[in-house]
Amino acid sequence: MESKTKNWVSEIFPEIIKSSLLVYLILLLLLIIAEIVSPGFLSFLHLGNVLRQASFLGIVAIGQTFVILTGGIDLSVASIITLTNVVSAQIMNGSNENLLLALVTVIAIGAVVGLANGSGVCFLKIPPLVMTLGVGSVVQGIALVYSKGAPKGYAAPLIRFISNEKIGGLISGAVILWLILGLLTIVVLKYTTFGRNVYALGTNVIAARYAGVNITGVTLCTYVLAGIMSALTGTLLVGYTGTSFLDAGTTYTMNSIAAVVVGGTSIIGGRGGYGGTIAGAIIMTIIGSLLTIVHIPEAGRQIAQGLIILCLVLIYGREKTRG
């Protein structure tokens, strides 16, 4: 076992860099641009803020990476985040004692919604795009009904600490959680039978089925994972803002997909990995914050953001298909 851990550690990091060198270069470039546009961007304080925000997106994007690698897509993550945001705030109601209950509840919610998504895709053969869009709409509706349009409750001190407080001025608890989950994801994708099957499924369903890959099991797992990761983010966001909102999750569907794709994972599945998504999540966060800093109005921000994503994917997509 000893030699194996060493084996992994020495393999994982070069692997991340090698398979997603380009996206890390883009990240570096973006940081330089950010520093030029807004001097002080590269300060410890600011980078800490960027990382803190990226962690929420990064965690959602874990689930999205799994789903997209199998050839699916999850458009319901935004609604799951919103629902779990509202529910967990109400259960916590400002007290650490309720935190565990809140966590268990939202994880269950995430899992159930994911299971619904996966079942629709596997058993009813509904295309993922349609299925998750529909489920997302239902879940958003439930959030509305549950909160009666006016979300109540506020963050428990512990979750507020985890999401907000930066240990050593740079790393928040949420970032540490992201780091741990992210590394686990990379290990699972690369070193487990489950991970291998995810790629197999996304590359060629028929060949995968013939080779004994449990298509239904793997698909269900990825959607459930996506649901749970969204639920985690939903809860962490309560800590970040202190309370809950009915549009807490809105931007996360588009941004998580963008993070995955900018990170070099093929939108049709089978190629890529989480190593790139990490950079993708940071890039998406930086773009968002940069556009806020330079005082572009909301409409302009959205347009600029869309165009930047398209450019990145174009640069990256070109590179990938050539191989």
Partner 1 sequence: MKYILEMKKINKRFGGIQALQDVDFSCFKGEVHALVGENGAGKSTLLKILAGLYQKDSGAISFNGKAVEFKNPQEAQRAGIAMVYQELTLFPDMTVAENIFLNQEPCNRWGLINQSEIKRRVTELITKYNIDLNPDDLVGYLPIAKQQMVEILKILAREPELIIFDEPTSALAKEEVHKLYEIINALKKNEKTIIFISHRFEEVFAIADRITVFKDGKFVATVLTRETNQDMLIRLMVGRPLKDIFPKKLVQATKKIIFEVKNLNVKGKLSDISFQIREGEVLGIAGLQGHGQTELLKALAGILPKDSGDFFIKSKPVSIRNPIDAIQAGIAFVPEDRKTQGLLLNLTVRENIALKSLYLRQILNFILLDKEREFVNRLIKELSIKAHSCEQQTVNLSGGNQQKVVLAKELGIKPRVILFNEPTRGIDVETKQELYYLMRQLANEGSIVIMVSSDLMEIIGMSDKVLVMYEGKISAELTKENISEENIMRGAVGIA
153 alpha carbon, distance to own chain's centre: 25
CA atoms within 13 A on the CB side of 300: 8
**CA end-to-end distance (rounded Å), the chain:** 36
* Residue with Cβ nearer partner 1 (141 or 217): 217
- Min. distance of Cβ 295 from partner 1 in angstroms? 44
- Min. distance of Cβ 23 from partner 1 in angstroms? 19
Which residues of the chain form contacts with partner 1 (CB under 8 A)? 7, 191-194, 196-197, 199-200, 203-204, 206-214, 270-271, 323
- Min. distance of Cβ 127 from partner 1 in angstroms? 14
Phi and psi at residue 171, in whole multiples of 5°?
A: -110, 125
Helix (H) or strand (E) holding 228: helix 215-241
* Residue with Cβ nearer partner 1 (203 or 243): 203
* Collapsed DSSP state (helix, strand, coil) of residue 165: coil
* Residue with Cβ nearer partner 1 (203 or 302): 203
- Min. distance of Cβ 292 from partner 1 in angstroms? 39
- Min. distance of Cβ 201 from partner 1 in angstroms? 9
Cβ atoms of residues 38 and 236 within 8 Å: no
* Residue with Cβ nearer partner 1 (188 or 238): 188
Cβ atoms of residues 67 and 260 within 8 Å: no
* Collapsed DSSP state (helix, strand, coil) of residue 309: helix
* Residue with Cβ nearer partner 1 (145 or 210): 210
